[in-house]
């Protein structure tokens, strides 16, 4: 099985870190290598531009690929989306000069929209019932309205800062994107593809979770359970030294709830509370 992954840019390092955490260590040997092996002899890596990955997967050069939803949609290729990897979040937005006449999608009718995503933009405008010319550009999209090349743009934004700097206002959201795992439809159910998807999913599921272990009075167990609903309820075990008055309780909780949860646990008699990170979580 071959997985296509971004060879550079803002998606490369997070993708490689995700593969590493999933147990698929990649044997990178050169700056400009095209292929790499992993610790799994049945899985190899193809390095490609993020925009080209949908094409490589659809044409069979790779069985699966990791790239942004925006790139997959723009390619127009038929792909099976297996998993939202929950990083690389951004938005494609319709934007126009702050002091201009465009205040709604309808206002670009009869005008021109510049973008690096002509397919997505055309589909969006058609969906809005707006007849406008779509002009493809390859960079500096945000400058086009200021040099009379376009009335509006469709561009990627994460924070909106670049648009603000260029005095552009967001008119509408075209697409919310993040990095996804895709596969060819005929390979989506392949055993090895499923194994890789499960491994990646276990890492994603562990994000923002913490594992709590503690001792608690047996007669306060109901109170502890109310504090610790956990995933399907906490795990309760006898303590090995034969202490019948206490039990060991384990649970998975959201990281943001750890502080208040520990305080509540102490209030119902829990002690020796240990908090650990979770590398992978198979649900």
- How far apart, in whole angstroms, are the C-alpha atoms of residue 20 and residue 251? 26
For the chain, give the mean pLDDT.
Answer: 93
Residue 100 sits in the same domain as residue 168: yes
Residue 42 sits in the same domain as residue 65: yes
- How far apart, in whole angstroms, are the C-alpha atoms of residue 3 and residue 44? 6
Domain total for the chain? Answer: 3
DSSP H or E run through 197: helix 191-206
Residue-wise pLDDT for 221-265, tens only, equals: 999 988 886 666 788 888 877 677 889 999 999 999 999 999 999
Residue 190 sits in the same domain as residue 71: yes
Say yes or no to pLDDT of 167 above 90: yes
Q: What is the CATH number of the domain that holds 145?
A: 3.40.190.10
Asked if residue 107 is part of any domain, the answer here is yes
Asked if residue 213 is part of any domain, the answer here is yes
Say yes or no to pLDDT of 39 above 90: yes
Residue 128 sits in the same domain as residue 155: yes
Asked if residue 282 is part of any domain, the answer here is no
DSSP strand E in the chain: where?
A: 2-6, 26-27, 35-38, 44-48, 64-68, 80-84, 90-97, 112-115, 133-136, 152-157, 168-177, 179-183, 209-217, 235-238, 246-254, 271-277
Residue 196 sits in the same domain as residue 57: yes
Residue 184 sits in the same domain as residue 54: yes
Asked if residue 283 is part of any domain, the answer here is no
- Residue appearing with tokens 């090895």: 192
CA 263-265-267 angle, 5° bins = 75
What pLDDT does residue 186 have? 95
- What is the four-CA torsion angle of 151, 157, 161, 164, rounded to 10 degrees? 10
Whole-number Cα distances in Å, 41 to 27, 192, 201, 202: 11, 11, 21, 21
- Residue 232's SS3 state is coil
Domain boundary among 154, 187, 205: 205
Asked if residue 153 is part of any domain, the answer here is yes
Residue-wise pLDDT for 83-104, tens only, equals: 999 999 999 999 999 999 999 9
Residue-wise pLDDT for 20-32, tens only, equals: 999 999 987 766 6
Say yes or no to pLDDT of 44 above 70: yes
Residue 198 sits in the same domain as residue 242: no
Q: Are 74 and 156 in contact (CB under 8 A)?
A: no
Residue 102 sits in the same domain as residue 117: yes
Say yes or no to pLDDT of 219 above 70: yes
- How far apart, in whole angstroms, are the C-alpha atoms of residue 102 and residue 169? 9
Q: What is the CATH number of the domain that holds 265?
A: 3.30.70.120
Residue 14 sits in the same domain as residue 77: yes
Lookup: tokens for 147: 């040099």
Percent of the chain with pLDDT over 90: 83
Q: Are 171 and 103 in contact (CB under 8 A)?
A: yes
Could you give phi then psi for residue 152, rounded to 5 degrees? -155, 170
Asked if residue 36 is part of any domain, the answer here is yes
What pLDDT does residue 283 have? 76
Residue 102 sits in the same domain as residue 162: yes
Percent of the chain with pLDDT over 70: 97
- How far apart, in whole angstroms, are the C-alpha atoms of residue 243 and residue 174? 61
Domain span at 62: 2-87+179-205
Lookup: tokens for 10: 């803002």
Residue 156 sits in the same domain as residue 38: no
Residue 199 sits in the same domain as residue 154: no
Task: Order across the sheet with 80-84: list the strands.
Answer: 26-27, 35-38, 44-48, 2-6, 64-68, 179-183, 80-84
Say yes or no to pLDDT of 162 above 80: yes
């Amino acid at each position: 099985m071959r997985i296509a992954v971004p060879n550079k840019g803002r998606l490369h390092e997070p993708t490689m870190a995700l593969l590493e955490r999933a147990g698929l260590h990649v044997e990178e040997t050169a700056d400009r290598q095209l292929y790499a092996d992993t610790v799994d002899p049945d899985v190899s890596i193809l390095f490609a531009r993020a925009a080209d990955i949908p094409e490589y997967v659809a044409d069979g050069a790779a069985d699966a690929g990791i790239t942004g939803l925006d790139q997959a949609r723009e390619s127009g290729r038929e792909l099976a989306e297996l998993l939202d990897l929950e990083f690389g979040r951004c938005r494609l937005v319709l934007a126009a000069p702050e002091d201009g006449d465009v205040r709604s999608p309808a206002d670009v009718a009869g005008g021109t929209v510049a973008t690096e995503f002509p397919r997505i933009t055309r589909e969006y405008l058609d969906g809005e019932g707006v007849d406008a010319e779509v002009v493809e550009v390859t960079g500096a999209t945000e400058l086009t309205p200021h040099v009379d090349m376009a009335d509006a743009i469709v561009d990627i934004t994460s924070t909106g800062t670049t648009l603000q700097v260029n005095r552009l206002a967001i008119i509408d959201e075209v697409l919310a994107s993040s990095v996804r795992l895709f596969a060819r439809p005929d390979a989506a159910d392949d055993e090895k593809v499923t194994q890789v998807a499960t491994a990646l999913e276990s890492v994603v599921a562990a994000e923002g979770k913490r594992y709590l272990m503690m001792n608690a009075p047996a007669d306060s167990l109901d109170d502890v359970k109310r504090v610790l609903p956990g995933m399907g309820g906490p795990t309760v075990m006898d303590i090995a030294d034969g202490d019948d008055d206490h039990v060991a309780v384990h649970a998975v909780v959201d990281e943001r709830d750890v502080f208040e949860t520990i305080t509540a646990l102490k209030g119902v008699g829990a002690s020796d509370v240990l908090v650990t990170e979770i590398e992978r979580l198979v649900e």
